[in-house]
Amino acid sequence: MNQLNSLKRFTTIVADTSNIESICKYKPEDATTNPSLILQAVNHSFNECFINQAVEYAKKKGGLYRDQIVNASDKILVDLGVEILKYIPGYISSEVDARLSFSKEQSILKAKKIINLYEEQGISRKRVLIKLAATWECIKAAEELKKDNILCNLTLLFSFAQARACAESDVFLISPFVGRIYDWYISQKLISNSSNERDPGVKSVYKIYDYYKKHNYKTIIMGASFRNIQQILNLSGCDRLTISPVLLKELESNDEIVDRKLIPPSIFSTPPSELSEEEFRWDHNQDVMAVQKLSEGIRNFAKDQLALEKILSKKI
């Protein structure tokens, strides 16, 4: 049995791609996309039909030039998601514009718009996860959206404060960014050629997993943003892992034994009192890595969103 199939015994595998060919090959349960992956897909000539469909849709809806660009962008996000759902049994994660990350109200409105676009094409909201950056505002937006049966994937998660606030708000799923945490520690020369046990990204997920399971939180933990298969294998047993095609291929080509690393505790305890907004902001602010990587991630996703809109604006 190869490592990919072996890993599937302990963990739900999610494809971190919008590439249909890869999804068909590796047969994941779910798939995740983000503005960077959507932009990659749009830049592929094979997907030009999605651009044309989105532009036609936006022109038909009319409105101001800026409104048409936004509508085309939302449409292509959903159309790619609908296509991916044909090849997976589970969820597709579709991301809200990162520029809305500090507005609870605007994030809610955009999430509902995306869900409506899916439902117009016959896709149940039960198969869609709305991706939001794990800011305080978006965590609270996810809490509100769940009341309307809209489930969320809180992404760009780097600090324990973010993880704790998500669990306390009963968010459906979180995506701790293992590789980006590792990158930061390397860039700051706080680790060098990290051994597997000392990998700070892996350790962050261990801490979240133990805390969630000990306090019986239902929020799903999905490790993300991996740099090598050893990080993935060290998180065998995590609820979900979203993995790029490059690393899925490496796992499939390797037949070494995979052992389960994360195991729920047998003893449970009562959760502490919930974090206030002030406590959340202070605790998160104490983690320099998390502050830098969250803001950087939001900026970069916004940059890719702008690049997508530039492509669409030329067509409109």
Q: Which residues are catalytic?
A: 131
Alpha carbon of 213 to those of 205, 220, 266, 271, 274: distances in Å? 12, 10, 9, 11, 16
For residue 157, the surrounding DSSP H or E stretch is: strand 151-157
**What is the Rg, in whole angstroms, of the alpha carbon atoms belonging to the chain?**
19
CA neighbor of 132 nearest in space, from 160, 167, 97: 97
CA neighbor of 284 nearest in space, from 171, 136, 79: 136
178-187 and 200-214 helices, crossing angle to 10°: 140
CA neighbor of 240 nearest in space, from 83, 29, 34, 99: 29
Q: Which residues contact 84 (CB under 8 A, 6 or more apart)?
A: 18, 20, 23, 31, 33, 92
3-state helix vs strand vs coil in the chain, percent to 5: 55, 10, 30
